[in-house]
C-alpha cells in the first residue's frame, strides 16, 4: 500500500560505524538537482549545525540555502525533537536565488 523507504547511498555517514545511539537520527537533505546528503544528528542538537555543515560540504556560504521540513522553513534554534522528526526524515534545501519555493514562515 505505502511505498517503503528506499535504501539510499549516503555521502556523509562518518558516524555509521559508531555503536548505534538511540538519540541520533539519520536525516537526509535533498536539493532540487537530485543531490542528497545524509547526516546523523542528536535529537537535541540545534539544526543550525546540520544546515551549516551542509553548506560547508557544498562549498558555499552559510545562508546560501534555505531548508524546509513539511514546507516550513527550519529555524536555527529548531531541533529534531522540537520538530518531532523521526529517523529517516528528509529536509528540502533550496538555493536562495531559485524562484518557486514559496513557503510561509508561520
Partner 1 sequence: MANSLALTRLQEEHRQFRKDHPHGFFARPFDEDGKRNYFKWRCGIPGKKGTEWEDGTFHLILEFSEDYPTKPPICKFDPPLFHPNIFPSGTVCLSLLDPSKDWKPSVTIKSILFAIQELLGSPNLDDPAQAEPYRLMKESPEEYRKTVREIVRKGFTRS
Which of helix, strand or coil describes residue 54? helix
With b for 16 or more beta-carbon neighbours within 10 A and e for fewer, the 27-63 pattern comes to bebebeeeebbbbbbebeebbbebbebbbeebeeeee
Q: Does 59 bind partner 1 (CB under 8 A)?
A: no
Judged by beta carbon, residue 31 or residue 45, the one nearer partner 1 is 31
Q: Does 99 bind partner 1 (CB under 8 A)?
A: yes
Q: How far apart are CA 6 and CA 82, in angstroms?
A: 26
Judged by beta carbon, residue 1 or residue 17, the one nearer partner 1 is 1
Q: What share of the chain is helix, strand, coil (3-state, %, to 5)?
A: 15, 25, 60
Judged by beta carbon, residue 15 or residue 71, the one nearer partner 1 is 71
Q: Does 51 bind partner 1 (CB under 8 A)?
A: no
Q: How many residues bind partner 1 (CB under 8 A)?
A: 25
Q: Does 60 bind partner 1 (CB under 8 A)?
A: no
Cell of 101: 519555493
Q: Which residues bind partner 1 (CB under 8 A)?
A: 1-3, 5-6, 30-32, 68-72, 85-86, 88-90, 92, 94, 99-103
Amino acid at each position: 500500500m505505502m511505498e517503503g523507504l528506499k535504501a539510499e547511498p549516503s555521502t556523509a555517514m562518518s558516524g555509521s560505524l559508531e555503536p548505534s545511539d538511540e538519540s541520533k537520527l539519520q536525516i537526509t537533505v535533498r536539493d532540487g538537482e537530485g543531490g542528497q546528503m545524509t547526516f546523523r544528528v542528536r535529537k537535541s542538537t540545534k539544526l543550525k549545525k546540520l544546515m551549516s555543515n551542509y553548506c560547508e560540504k557544498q562549498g558555499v556560504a552559510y545562508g546560501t540555502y534555505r531548508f524546509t521540513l513539511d514546507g516550513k522553513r527550519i529555524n536555527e534554534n529548531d531541533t529534531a525533537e522540537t520538530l518531532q522528526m523521526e529517523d529517516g526524515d528528509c529536509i528540502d534545501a533550496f538555493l536562495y536565488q531559485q524562484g518557486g519555493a514559496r513557503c510561509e514562515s508561520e
